[in-house]
Amino acid sequence: MSVVFWFRKDFRLQDNEALVAASKESKDIYAVALVNRASYEFLEGIRQHSLTESFNALDASIGNKLNVKSIQSAADSGGELVSIAKAATASFVFAMKRFDPEGIAEQKAVSDALASAGVQLKLVGSAYAVEPGTVRKPDGTNYRVYTPFFNNWNPLSNQAPFEIDAASINWLKMSDSESIPTPTKNSPIKVIAGEAFALRTFERFRKRALVNYSDDRNRADLSGTSHLSHALAHGEIHPRTLLADLGSDEGAWVFRKEIAWREFYADVLHHYPHTLDDYYEPRFKKLRYDTGVQAEERFQAWCEGRTGYPMVDAGMRQLVTEGWMHNRVRMIVASFLVKDLHIEWTRGAEFFEKHLSDFDPASNSHGWQWTAGCGTDASPYYRIFNPVMQGLKFDPEGNYVRKYIPELRHLTGADVHEPWERFDGYNLGYPDQIVDHSAERNESLARLEELKQA
């Protein structure tokens, strides 16, 4: 008897615990992917191409036997999987367990729909080395601070990857399978995705940058990061694979801690699902934010990389042209939006969701809230990034800025970070600063004091 395997953000064959479980039940497997066409249309071009390439790579890895079905909303997933299970005469649908609010609601609806049809949904494994909800304090409550979370997560995170003989699986194709979604928007770059590419990327990272990761990961001008965030977001590689035999030198240790940050945020969102788009620290809802015509103009300038602050603008231009932004720069642009422009963090989080090819709901929401000062482990609200000093520190020769801002390529070295100090700094049309950082820093602190007094 065949089984149905529902791929949901685990677009890989190896180290896929749920797929291993399905293959033990039966070697005849209908691989299914559900596509919400409306959500797909919402995405910007790079994200559409990113998702499509992930689907294509997965399909190719199973001999072009991926069964694609359209849904209008997550609520439709149950009915669609019931139809598939009936057509396949399958008693079981296997899938990876998700822990984000949307994923939890969807798998509950699917489980109920399948059960009413006499089919069992078996949720196995997760996208994490340690499932959210596992790491607890001695009193059974969850950790709200990263460091003690990491100290208790780390001993649990060293599990061997799951292996599968993919060649032994008989992938089955339905006659009414739909096509993989075709992008309706252009992408300025060619996107490469898939499990094989993710594994090659990881090996290159280990040889290229892991030994210096502790120092270079913050340098926007260097290729010092793993470039695996897209693969992790789509499930093209599992954290277990990354952590296995990672080593114990300083670079490997810091890389392990970065993976743990991703899992910490997933754990927090699991316990506080409202924080997907709401405040972890609710008192900051009452902070005075700017609205109106001027605020919208400034927000648009931020979106388009026209703030007059080179490090901010380079980051935003990288985002819209590549669908990715260096993590240090994400903090810089987030701080600028919230602390310099006084615009609510949720606006920036939504913009990132539309553009980031590595979008992850927990990391996006809580990364923004950390910088905004209203999240866990809160970088205190009064810690305000100076965009000029950040540029000088993490792009010391200005190579990152020059790459994304052609209007400043005539400036050499660190001069790109302060074009206002050069007589020819604005010769190629770079915009003036839309705000004065020092003045807006003081304004942010004054608004924090208002909140305290209230």
Query: Which CATH number covers residue 36?
Result: 3.40.50.620
Indicate if the pLDDT at residue 402 is higher than 70: yes
Contacts 24+ apart (CB under 8 A), 23-27: 23/164, 23/165, 23/168, 23/169, 25/92, 25/94, 26/1, 26/2, 27/168, 27/169, 27/170
The sign of the dihedral angle between the CA atoms of 74, 79, 80, 82 is: positive
CATH number at residue 343: 1.10.579.10
Average pLDDT score over residue span 89-113: 96
Residue 184: inside a domain: no
Binning pLDDT at 50, 70 and 90, where does residue 97 land? Answer: very high
Mean pLDDT calculated for residue range 130-148 = 96
Structural domain includes residue 170: no
What are the residues whose beta carbons fall under 8 Å from the beta carbon of 272, sequence distance 6 or more?
280
Helices of type H across 235-386: 239-243, 250-271, 293-304, 310-322, 327-335, 345-355, 361-372
- Assess whether 95 and 137 both reside in one domain: no
In 96-133, DSSP assigns E strands to 120-123
Q: Are 236 and 385 within one domain? A: no
Residue 409's identity, in one-letter code, is R
Is 0.75 topped by the overall pTM? yes
Phi, psi of 33 (to 5 degrees): -130, 130
Q: At 381, is the pLDDT very low, low, confident or very high (cuts 50, 70, 90)?
A: confident
Do 427 and 296 fall into the same domain? yes
203 & 292 share domain:
no
Residue type, 402: R
CATH number for the domain that contains residue 254: 1.25.40.80
Residues 6 or more apart whose CB falls under 8 angstroms from that of 273 comprise 100, 101, 104
Q: Does a structural domain hold residue 188?
A: no
With CA atoms as reference, report the closest residue to 104 among 234, 230, 276, 261: 276
pLDDT score of 227 more than 90: yes
Residue 199 in domain: yes
- When pLDDT is averaged across residues 228-244 and rounded to a whole number, the result is 96
Domain containing residue 87: 3-126
Could you tell me if residue 177 is inside a domain? no
Q: Which of 223, 246, 271 is the last residue of a domain?
A: 271
Structure tokens at 174: 């339905």
Is the domain of 317 the same as that of 225?
no
Selection from 62, 119, 122 nearest residue 94 by Cα: 122
Question: Is the pLDDT at 239 greater than 80, yes or no?
Answer: yes
Please state, in angstroms and rounded to a whole number, the distance separating the CA atoms of residues 271 and 261. Answer: 15
Give the C-alpha separation, 122 to 107, whole Å.
10
Q: Are residues 122 and 134 in the same domain?
A: no
What pLDDT sits at residue 248?
A: 83
Q: What is the mean pLDDT of residues 207-221?
A: 95
Q: Write down the number of H helices and E strands in the chain.
A: 19, 6
For the record, the structure tokens of 218 come out as: 């913050």
Q: Does 426 fall in a domain?
A: yes
Q: Domain check: are 201 and 236 in the same one?
A: yes
The answer to whether 112 touches 142, Cβ cutoff 8 Å, is no
Q: By C-alpha distance, which of 309, 338, 328, 289 is closest to 404?
A: 309
- pLDDT given for residue 378 in this prediction: 60
Buried b (16+ CB within 10 A) or exposed e, 292-313: eeebeebbebbbebbbbbbbbb
Average pLDDT of the segment spanning 36-65: 94
Least confident of 91-95, 353-357, 404-408: 353-357
DSSP 258: H
Mapped onto helix, strand or coil, the DSSP state of residue 301 is helix
Q: Which residue has the tokens 């090659």?
A: 200
For strand 92-95 and strand 3-6, is the pairing parallel, antiparallel, or unpaired? parallel
Q: In the chain, how many domains are there?
A: 3
Q: Is residue 178 part of a domain?
A: no
- My answer on whether 118 and 265 are in the same domain is no
Q: How many CA atoms lie within 13 A of 190 on its CB side?
A: 1
- Domain end: 227, 246, 271, which one? 271
**What secondary structure does DSSP assign to 363-399, as a single string?**
HHHHHHHHHHT-STTPPPTT----HHHHHHHHSTTSH
DSSP code, position 193: -
Whether residues 112 and 9 share a domain: the answer is: yes
206 and 339 share one domain: no
The two tokens of residue 22 are 């399905």
Q: Mind listing the pLDDT tens digit for each residue in 158-206?
A: 999 999 999 999 999 999 999 999 999 998 888 899 999 999 999 999 9
For Cα atoms 173, 230, 232, give the angle at the middle one, nearest 5 degrees: 75
pLDDT for 428: 97
Domain boundary residue, one of 212, 237, 271: 271
Whether residue 87 is predicted with pLDDT greater than 70 in this model: the reply is: yes
Give the C-alpha distances (Å, rounded to integers) separating 259 from 4, 62, 130, 240. Answer: 31, 29, 11, 10
Average pLDDT over residues 382-411: 96
111 and 153 fall within a common domain: no
Average pLDDT over residues 275-284: 95
Whether 84 and 57 share a structural domain:
yes
Nearest to 266 by CA among 378, 110, 135: 135
Q: For residue 171, is it within any domain? A: no
Residue 39: how many other CB atoms lie within 10 Å: 14
- Please tell me the distance from the alpha carbon of residue 380 to that of residue 448, in angstroms, as a whole number: 11
Tokens of 120: 């069992």
